[in-house]
Amino acid sequence: MLRGIHVPLVTPFDASGEVALDAVEKLAHRALDEGAAGLVALGTTGEVAALDPAERARVIEVCARVCAERQALLTVGVTGNDTRSTARALRDLPEGAGAALVTVPYFLRPGERGVVAHFEALAEETPVPLVIYHIPYRTGQAVGAATLREVGAHPMVAGVKYAAGGIDQDAVDLLADLPENFDVLGGDDVFVSPLLALGASGGILASAHFATRSFADLVDAWQAGDAARARALGHRLARLSAALFTAPNPTAIKGVLHAEGLIPTPDVRLPLVPADPGTVAAAHAVVRQEH
């Protein structure tokens, strides 16, 4: 279900600060036109914490309509660090969501037993398959391969967005022995190629707002065993990703999208501030090399 590249869409704002829904729709179609297998709405890249409930609902509505038209998977980010409110958010997901991206509980650091209990409880409540979002440098909670394997054995847990900050021993161990019907998606853009080489099925990559077709080709090359092509693509796309992450996500990405005429403003909401012009120009230069 999770094979390929899934683009976690930015949330564009217009000059008045409102969500630019027409730009959301255009970005969604563009990503799918260029080879994305699916979209992620309301992820970190979408500044979900800065959106009010009505704005979140409108973003999901637009993305769900596009994905239904295009027969693509829509994954919706679900926020919350306690089990009860997260389960409620899952139950309230609107029609059109095909999966839910759920972060390992953040800040509380419940321990790995708590992580297992949390996801097992959610798996019994959710109307759609869950994708665990493992990002310990944001959550403060380490999760080992054995824990992910245990949670991943549940039929309502479809996979994990793996964003540990690199290729660690747990990634190697997990990919060597995956539960049935459990996929690993790269979540650290710069490291997606080596993770694919180890057996990941795709990625949720903010960088894939650009060079989407090349990222999709990277997945195909590794899965076809064409290592020479995959390595060359991987090195090139890692440079692209590094350029787009020289400022906090999604500030440089929004800056380049605006420079390309794809969104009405480069604006983000506090506490994020826009990437400085030099950073945007440098990232844009790398993006242009991919055109």
Q: Catalytic positions, please?
A: 133, 161
Spatial separation of the C-alpha atoms in residues 2 and 136, rounded to whole Å: 22
d(CA 255, CA 167): 29
Residue 92 to residue 95: CA distance in whole angstroms: 9
204 is in an annotated binding site: yes
Per DSSP, helices labelled H in 34-110 are: 53-70, 83-91
Distance of alpha carbon 274 from its chain centroid, rounded?
21
Name residues whose C-beta falls within 8 Å of residue 223's C-beta, 6 or more positions apart in sequence. 196
Rounded distance between C-alpha atoms, residue 50 and residue 272, angstroms: 10
CA distance 246 to 233: 20
> CA-to-CA distance for 168 and 173, rounded, in angstroms?
9
Which runs of E-coded beta strand occur in 148-234?
Answer: 157-162, 183-186, 202-204
Question: Are 218 and 196 within 8 A, CB to CB?
Answer: yes
Evaluate whether 122 touches 103 at the Cβ level (below 8 Å): no
Closest CA to 101 of 218, 8, 236, 178: 8
- Return binding residues: 45, 204
- Return binding residues for pyruvate: 45, 204
